């Protein structure tokens, strides 16, 4: 069974850094890209970027270049998303997902709350 | 990045109705268009992939059509469990994008 297991809820102050994880099981980690998607409260889905686990190559959406760093660790089949200089408008649920035709699996999401 | 425009943004329909949601891409994306259903507090669930293929386990009342820039999701004989927000998503490029969503409410 394919599973993407994400790390737990985070509460951070403005200006802090947080690192989210997404552990993959049930398929070969290097076979599919891992995407990160953000959903702010009451809003739609926003694609942030992807990592190609085989070589670590990363592509970011234009709105997410700079403060966001996506990585992958083949030794632990885990992808990471680090968010720095957090702002209140970074408050959202962050999903990881593998999306390729019917091979379409999502993590349960990590809620990040940024508040002073 | 490829823009996706969904309409309507919300709709209310009765059980048994036929519901149609449309998604228009800013450029041709062939048939690389997926549809998701999302319920509050949950991850999106794939309903249709590559424009018209029904994901395993999804009821056959869901169907998709279209190619190029114009796509449609149809729910025949709407059921109470079909409430939620539906999103289209293009995978023509690895730089994915999503439509703004259509909230489906049951009257």
Instruction: Using a CB–CB cutoff of 8 Å, tell me whether A41 touches chain B.
Output: no
Instruction: Using a CB–CB cutoff of 8 Å, tell me whether B89 touches chain A.
Output: yes
Q: What is the pLDDT of residue A32?
A: 93
Selected residues 2-31 of chain B with any CB under 8 Å from a CB in chain A: none
Q: What is the pLDDT of residue A20?
A: 98
> Radius of gyration of chain A from Cα atoms?
13
| Distance separating alpha carbons of residues B94 and A1, to the nearest angstrom | 25
Scanning every residue of chain B, which has its alpha carbon at the shortest distance from the alpha carbon of A52?
A: B94
Q: What is the pLDDT of residue A101?
A: 86
- pLDDT tens digits for range A35-94: 999 999 999 999 999 999 999 999 999 999 999 999 999 999 999 999 999 999 999 999
A-chain residues within 8 Å CB-CB of B46? 102, 104
Instruction: Using a CB–CB cutoff of 8 Å, tell me whether A46 touches chain B.
Output: yes
Q: Enumerate residue ranges in chain B where pLDDT < 70.
A: none
Number of Cα atoms under 13 Å in the Cβ half of residue B9: 3
Phi, psi of A30 (to 5 degrees): -80, 0
Q: Which of A46, A44, A78 lies closest to A60 in space, CA to CA? A: A46
Instruction: Using a CB–CB cutoff of 8 Å, tell me whether A104 touches chain B.
Output: yes
Q: What is the pLDDT of residue B45?
A: 98
In this model, does residue A25 exceed pLDDT 90? yes
Q: How far is CA B63 from the centre of its chain?
A: 9
| Distance separating alpha carbons of residues B68 and B70, to the nearest angstrom | 6
In this model, does residue A98 exceed pLDDT 90? yes
Name which of B34, B91, B98 is nearest A46 (Cβ-Cβ).
B98
A-chain residues within 8 Å CB-CB of B101? 44-45
Instruction: Say yes or no for a CB contact (<8 Å) between B34 and A62.
Output: no
Instruction: Using a CB–CB cutoff of 8 Å, tell me whether A86 touches chain B.
Output: no
pLDDT interval class at A1 (50, 70, 90): very high
Q: Please write down the HEC assignment for all residues of chain B.
A: CCCEEEECCEEEECCCCCEEEEEEECCCCCCCEEEEEECCCCCCEEEEECCCEECCCCCCCEEEEEECCEEEEEECCCCHHHCEEEEEEECCCCCCEECCCEEEEEC
């Amino acid at each position: 069974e394919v599973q993407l297991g994400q790390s737990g809820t985070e509460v951070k102050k403005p200006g802090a850094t947080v690192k989210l994880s997404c552990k993959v099981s049930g398929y070969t980690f290097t076979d599919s890209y891992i995407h990160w998607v953000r959903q702010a409260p009451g809003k739609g889905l926003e694609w942030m970027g992807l990592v190609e686990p085989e070589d670590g190559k990363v592509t970011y959406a234009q709105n997410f270049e700079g403060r966001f760093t996506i990585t992958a660790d083949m030794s632990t089949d885990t992808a990471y998303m680090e968010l720095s200089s957090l702002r209140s408008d970074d408050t959202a649920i962050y999903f990881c997902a593998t999306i390729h035709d019917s091979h379409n699996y999502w993590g349960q999401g990590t809620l990040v709350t940024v508040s002073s | 990045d490829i823009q996706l425009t969904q309409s309507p943004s919300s709709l209310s329909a009765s059980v048994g109705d036929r519901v149609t949601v449309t998604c228009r891409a800013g450029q041709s994306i062939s048939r690389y268009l997926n549809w998701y259903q999302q319920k509050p507090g949950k991850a999106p669930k794939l309903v249709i992939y590559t424009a018209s293929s029904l994901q395993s386990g999804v009821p056959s009342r869901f169907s998709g059509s279209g190619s190029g820039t114009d796509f449609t999701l149809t729910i025949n004989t709407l059921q109470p469990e079909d409430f939620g927000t539906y999103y289209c998503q293009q995978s023509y490029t690895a730089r994915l994008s999503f439509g703004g969503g259509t909230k489906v409410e049951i009257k």
